[in-house]
Chains A and B, each alone.
Chain A
Amino acid sequence: MAEAHNEPSDKLYLTIAGSLAVLTGVSYIGDLMDLPRGALICLVLAVAVVKATLVATFFMHLKVDWTKVKIMIIPAILLACVLVFALLPDITLAMREKPGKKPPAEKSKSAQAAVKTQ
């Protein structure tokens, strides 16, 4: 019966579960190691993508069903990515107004004053 559904064996399921647990440990240890912020973000996001891919491929049976359901999954993931990129300009605008950083207009005024005193 199991073969009729083309599902992976129980042994493979347990191997994947072990891999997921190890990957969770890698993220956890990376967080404890006080890595530089950029490196930590890259590490934990890469681990999350690998874990999600393993779950989708083997537990959700996309290894077998991908060709049948990709037409529904690909547009959803693409639109989801578009949503994030559409909001990126908001992040950039806000980062330009960090507290303690002089706005460009003030800088130009001080520059003008310096020119006048000379």
Chain B
Amino acid sequence: MAHAHAHAAEEHYEMGLPVSNAKLAMWLFLATEIMFFMGLIASYIALRFGRADWPTPDDVGLNVSIGALNTVVLIVSSVTVVLALSATARGDRNQQALYLAITAALGLTFMVIKAFEYHAKYEHGLVQIVNGWPVLQPTHEIAGGGLWPSLYFTLTGFHGLHVIGGVVMLVMLLIQSMSGRLGPDKYERVELIGLYWHFVDVVWIFLFPMLYMIG
């Protein structure tokens, strides 16, 4: 009897967190990403609210509607990636490939819209091309000088790089799905890339009001 109790206690306790190594690594990575983006956002808050003069949305050609559209694009992509995860659990490869393809396409749509926005900023004179390199210095006088373009392009640029990274991973999953190598046993692989994709969505959820509405 005593032996049975000792055995039960031995089974109850375990070393480390009750998650797989892969999920532990992904959450640790996301924890570092929280710090990375919060560093950028904190810099924005300090520089923005430490200044009395700041450009209006018209001064810098900001369009809230385009920002809101991009938010909806990322929200829909977050749904399609969880639907791909459900399809993986069910072993439904057709739906899995379909939802992964839609998610990657929505990621690319986000970047295409962002590229149009960047081009509009160039047309608006917020970026100059000097010796073939972009310089974040407005061609005309705006409140705060080059501070707004620097902050806008740094924040959205790093976020965009994360979106591109996510799209690359989603395309790799799609290739595996189409070649029949992404069965229910690879559930965690889809889940972890989904976690990363949702994190990218969460970052944009904060960047959108901060840059486009609060200003």
Complex interface: chain A residues within 8 A of B91 (CB): 1
Structural contact, A99 and B209, CB atoms closer than 8 A? no
Q: Which residue of A lies closest to B81 (CB)?
A: A59
CA distance A55 to B79 in the complex (A): 10
- Counting contact residues on chain B (CB < 8 A from A), the size range is 35 or more
Structural contact, B39 and A83, CB atoms closer than 8 A? yes
Shortest beta-carbon distance, B73 to chain A, in Å?
11
- CB proximity to B under 8 Å, residues A34-92: 40-41, 44-45, 47-48, 51-52, 55-56, 59-61, 65, 68-69, 71-73, 75-77, 79-80, 83-84, 86-88, 90-91
**Which label, helix, strand, loop or mixed, suits the secondary structure of the A interface?**
helix
- CB proximity to A under 8 Å, residues B154-213: 184, 187, 191, 194-195, 198-199, 201-202, 205-206, 208-209, 212-213
Structural contact, B187 and A56, CB atoms closer than 8 A? no
Structural contact, B53 and A99, CB atoms closer than 8 A? yes
Q: Which of A47, A60, A75 contacts B198 (CB 8 A)?
A: A60
Complex interface: chain A residues within 8 A of B79 (CB): 13-14, 16-17, 59
**Chain A positions 1 through 20: 1 when the CB is less than 8 Å from some CB of chain B, otherwise 0:** 11011010010011011001
**Count of A-B residue pairs with CB < 8 Å:** 141
Structural contact, A76 and B31, CB atoms closer than 8 A? yes
Shortest beta-carbon distance, A103 to chain B, in Å?
14
CA distance A45 to B210 in the complex (A): 8
Structural contact, B27 and A72, CB atoms closer than 8 A? yes
Q: Which residues of B contact A (CB under 8 A)?
A: 17-19, 23-24, 27-28, 30-32, 34-35, 38-39, 41-43, 45-46, 49-53, 64-65, 68, 71-72, 75-76, 78-79, 81-83, 85-86, 89-91, 184, 187, 191, 194-195, 198-199, 201-202, 205-206, 208-209, 212-214
Q: Which residues of A contact B (CB under 8 A)?
A: 1-2, 4-5, 7, 10, 13-14, 16-17, 20-21, 24, 27-28, 30-32, 40-41, 44-45, 47-48, 51-52, 55-56, 59-61, 65, 68-69, 71-73, 75-77, 79-80, 83-84, 86-88, 90-91, 93-95, 98-99
